[in-house]
Amino acid sequence: MIQYSKEAIVKLTQYKIVRYAFIGGVSTFIHIFTAALYIYFINESLLQSNIIGFLFAYSFSYTVQSHFVFEHKISAKRATKYFVVQLASLLLAIALSNLFESYNVYIRTVIVVVLLPFITYITHKFWTFNT
């Protein structure tokens, strides 16, 4: 079993991309958890549950990424840009999945999961938070 020292973890978190990926993972969990709760307790609509899950995840992600990764204050302008990037990311995920439709569904998922965080990180770094 791999043992991680506190110093190694602290060193890893010095890299913004690592913090970005971690917060992205937590945001994904928030989306899934919120959607599942909505389905279980309120309504079985996948559309409604995913919209609610997205809104909770987006709010968390934008707030924490702003402070912890990009070190900016919250602003309506950056929140709008962040939303545009996240929406474009969803459309790109669909396009990539369709582009590689001849591949196994798991391979397509891995392609999307690996490429999109890098693309969104770079876009946020140079467009969303470059003000």
Cα-Cα-Cα-Cα dihedral of 45, 47, 51, 54, to 10°? 100
Short-list 94, 101, 92, CA closest to 119: 92
Domain that holds residue 110: 75-131
Report the number of distinct structural domains present in the chain. 2
**pLDDT, tens only, 20-37:** 999 999 999 999 999 999
**Residue 9 shares a structural domain with residue 67:** yes
Identify whether residues 33 and 93 lie together within a single domain: no
pLDDT in tens, 79-116: 999 999 999 999 999 999 899 999 999 999 898 989 99
One domain, residues 5 and 58: yes
Do 66 and 92 belong together in one domain? Answer: no
| Over residues 63-84, mean pLDDT | 97
pLDDT at 4 over 70: no
